């Protein structure tokens, strides 16, 4: 057989084989996709019952969506191993040397892809087919030249006695050189083509295709279960983190936590037990997930007749996880939040409905006094315990510090008197006590000036004895008696700002009272002149800060909203409007801002002052003031409607002279009124 006929026959054979193989490969993909569609359509009712899914989810092909996860699982378990087997059995179509040679000739070979069929077809179109076309074109030119030479020699009478003439023979000897490159390329394709034919005969036979189609239900079922299991896992982690942080916050408020345990013990047990139950089902899922997850599981499941039971068992576990999480999230957690807010309001009401003066502790008053007049705290107190052991220079410095402190104390006493005269006119006992205290401290300040002139231990000892006599100012406990009889308004009757202001002045008055009645506080107030005695207010700091913290927290309680599962979106929606979670009230009392949710979707504002944080149902009827405007007017008691698209048209004016005018017909709006 001539070389050109052999090359053309082999070329046609290989091209037919490639086209047939590509068609069978594409047909396999179509059959698997049809099997997927048929299974989802057949099991749609069961899937809705198990997972509460919407049919629209099957139309979303975005990365991370349910449909994308199903198709990706089929590609990974069916097509990827089959394509890998094809690559291993057929091998690479062209070598690196051939690629470099093609690039040197100006022909770019196709890049290596994961699908060998595409690579073969691209190589055939880029490398083999153009080469055969060039060889055919050169062969046709040579054939025309041979025929012309034979015709010219025949006219000249040149006839070969045996075969062709020398010129014709020389031309025919050029044909093998034309087909040499094509023949070489086709010979390299012989082995890959035989392997392709053998592969499709062994791995893509009707029996193998039927087995792959049979495996689709297991793969699709496992993909759906894994998809919703992953969402339940994310939801579970969010709920566990929220409950852990919220529980820690509540446990720091011992009064709220203890009362919550008394009022809602069953609810707390349900949350703890529910999260533990979902974790148990999470481990159970891993035990039951033994089908459709890998190629080995698929092959094992093909020989089993219990696929329906396995799918039902696994889907039931996921469905129960989803339902239990929804119960915890939409019922139990929100009930806990509501109960906590109710308890918090009760505690605030109880705290605001008691006499305020007994609630001001000694520690709170002393620390408020220290801040107001600059008394030393634990961090700023000097290392020396008494001024009797100081030198003259150090004693003068200490005297100047105490002198400034007592001047502030005098001003503070005057301010306390002014404040209580303003809020309670019947507080003569406090006013008289403050007047005596101001007079006495002023005298002690003048004595301190004498101590600066002669800073001796004797003079200091005499001044300390005078300072200790200041306790006689409140010897009969007039401050306590006056405040106990004073009709102060309850905290719930005052605004927050007025309540905080009154609390500050009551704390300062309590600090003055403690200073007048306790030797340790008086000595601490004039350090380092006085000798520090046991009972320093520095030891009260931790307890006082705790009391101040409790007082601050009694007004504010911040709890984040329970996470919404609809914020756990593995992929954005395929089209249309973005999903918006249900609106929920803020947990900050007095504010109407709504939580942004887990997904970060703004949820706007909710009008109304009702307390509660559950999702509100959409209205089913029109509210007052929300009806659309009437597209017409009433003229003399008759309704006249405007035609559509006539926004600029106006009704004709009514004549003022005639009180009884016939109603204007709707048709007259479009036509001018003719004069009679």
Spatial distance between the Cα atoms of 247 and 231, rounded to a whole number of angstroms: 24
SS (H, E, C) 210-261: HHHHHHHHHHHHHHHHHHHHHHHHHHHHHHHHHHHHHHHHHHHCHHHHHHHH
pLDDT digits (tens, 9 = 90+) for 594-618: 333 333 333 333 333 333 333 333 3
Model pLDDT for residues 471-494, shown as the tens digit of each residue: 888 888 888 888 888 777 777 677
DSSP state of 640: E
**Maximum CA pair distance of the chain?**
159
Q: Does 659 have pLDDT greater than 80? A: no
pLDDT in tens, 185-204: 888 888 889 999 999 999 88
Distance CA 116, CA 128 (A): 16
Task: Give yes or no for a contact between 88 and 195, defined as CB atoms under 8 angstroms apart.
Answer: no
Which of the listed ranges 106-115, 153-162, 190-199, 652-661 does the model predict with the highest average pLDDT?
190-199
pLDDT digits (tens, 9 = 90+) for 212-235: 888 888 889 889 999 989 988 998
What b/e readout covers 540-560, taking b as 16+ CB neighbours within 10 angstroms? bbeebeebbeebeebeebebe
| 107 or 51: which leads in pLDDT | 51
Would you state the structure tokens that stand for residue 314, as one six-digit string?
Answer: 């696994």
pLDDT cut 90: percent of the chain above it: 9
Q: Where are the domains of the chain?
A: 3-204, 216-352, 357-535
Question: Given this model, what pLDDT does residue 147 score?
Answer: 87
Summary count for the chain: helices (H), strands (E): 23, 2
Q: What is the dihedral of CA 304, 309, 312, 316, to 10 degrees?
A: -120
302 band by pLDDT with thresholds 50, 70 and 90: low
pLDDT(31) > 60: yes
SS3 593: strand
| The pLDDT of residue 109 | 46
Mean pLDDT of 357-370: 86
pTM metric for this prediction: 0.54
pLDDT of residue 94: 55
> Quick check: 554 and 347 in contact, CB under 8 A?
yes
CA-to-CA distance for 590 and 105, rounded, in angstroms? 79
What is the average per-residue pLDDT within 85-104?
63
Distance CA 532, CA 526 (A): 9
**Residues contacting 187, CB < 8 A, separation 6+:** none
Nearest to 184 by CA among 3, 2, 18: 3
């Amino acid at each position: 057989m001539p070389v050109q006929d052999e090359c053309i026959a082999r070329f046609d054979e290989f091209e037919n084989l490639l086209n047939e193989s590509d068609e069978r490969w594409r047909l396999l993909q179509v059959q698997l996709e049809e099997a997927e569609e048929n299974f989802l359509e057949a099991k749609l009712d069961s899937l809705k019952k198990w997972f509460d899914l919407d049919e629209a989810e099957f139309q979303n092909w975005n990365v991370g969506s349910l449909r994308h996860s199903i198709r990706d699982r089929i590609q990974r378990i069916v097509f990827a191993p089959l394509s890998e087997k094809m690559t291993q059995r057929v091998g690479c179509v062209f070598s690196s040397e051939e690629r470099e040679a093609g690039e040197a000739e100006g022909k770019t070979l196709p890049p290596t892809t994961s699908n060998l069929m595409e690579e073969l077809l691209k190589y055939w179109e880029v490398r083999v087919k153009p080469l055969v076309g060039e060889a055919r074109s050169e062969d046709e030119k040579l054939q025309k030249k041979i025929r012309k030479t034979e015709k010219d020699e025949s006219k000249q009478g040149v006839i070969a006695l045996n075969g062709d003439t020398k010129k014709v023979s020389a031309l025919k000897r050029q044909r093998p050189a034309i087909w040499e490159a094509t023949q070489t390329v086709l010979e390299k394709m012989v082995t890959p083509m035989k392997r392709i034919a053998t592969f499709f005969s062994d791995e893509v036979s009707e029996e193998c295709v039927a087995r792959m189609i049979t495996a689709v239900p297991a793969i699709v079922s496992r993909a759906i279960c894994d998809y919703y299991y992953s969402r339940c896992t994310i939801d579970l982690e969010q709920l566990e983190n929220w409950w852990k942080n919220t529980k820690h916050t509540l446990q720091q408020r011992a009064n709220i936590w203890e009362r919550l345990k008394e009022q809602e013990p069953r609810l707390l047990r349900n949350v703890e037990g529910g999260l533990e139950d979902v974790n148990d089902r999470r481990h159970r899922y891993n035990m039951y997930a033994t089908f459709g997850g890998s190629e080995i599981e698929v092959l094992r499941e093909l020989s089993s007749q219990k696929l329906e039971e396995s799918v039902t068992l696994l889907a039931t576990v996921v469905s129960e996880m989803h339902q239990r999480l929804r119960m915890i999230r939409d019922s139990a957690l929100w009930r806990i939040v509501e109960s906590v807010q109710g308890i918090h309001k009760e505690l605030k009401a109880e705290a605001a409905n008691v006499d305020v003066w007994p609630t001001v502790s000694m520690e709170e008053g002393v620390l408020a006094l220290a801040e107001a007049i600059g008394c030393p705290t634990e961090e700023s107190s000097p290392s020396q315990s008494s001024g009797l052991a100081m030198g003259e220079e150090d004693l003068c410095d200490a005297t100047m510090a105490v002198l400034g402190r007592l001047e502030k104390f005098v001003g503070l006493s005057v301010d306390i008197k002014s404040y209580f005269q303003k809020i309670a006119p019947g507080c003569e006992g406090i006013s008289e006590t403050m007047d005596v205290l101001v007079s006495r401290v002023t005298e002690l300040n003048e004595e301190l000036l004498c101590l600066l002139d002669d800073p001796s231990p004797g003079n200091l000892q005499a001044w300390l004895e005078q300072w200790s006599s200041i306790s006689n100012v409140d010897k009969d406990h007039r401050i306590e008696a006056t405040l106990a009889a004073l009709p102060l308004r309850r905290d719930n009757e005052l605004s927050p700002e007025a309540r905080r202001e009154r609390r500050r002045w009551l704390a300062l008055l309590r600090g003055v009272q403690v200073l007048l009645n306790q030797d340790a506080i008086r000595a601490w107030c004039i350090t380092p002149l006085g000798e520090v005695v046991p009972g320093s207010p520095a030891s009260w700091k931790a307890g006082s800060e705790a009391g101040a913290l409790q007082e601050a927290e009694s007004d504010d309680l911040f709890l984040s909203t329970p996470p919404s599962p609809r914020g756990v979106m593995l992929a954005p929606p395929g089209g249309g409007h973005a999903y918006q979670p249900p609106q929920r009230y803020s947990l900050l009392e007095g504010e109407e801002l709504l939580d942004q949710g887990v997904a970060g979707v703004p949820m706007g504002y909710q009008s109304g002052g009702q307390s509660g944080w559950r999702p509100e149902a959409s209205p089913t009827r029109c509210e007052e003031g929300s009806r659309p405007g009437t597209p017409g007017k009433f003229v003399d008691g008759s309704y006249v409607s405007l035609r559509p698209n006539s926004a600029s048209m106006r009704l004709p004016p009514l004549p003022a002279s005639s009180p009884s005018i016939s109603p204007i017909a709707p048709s007259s709006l479009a036509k001018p009124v003719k004069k009679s």
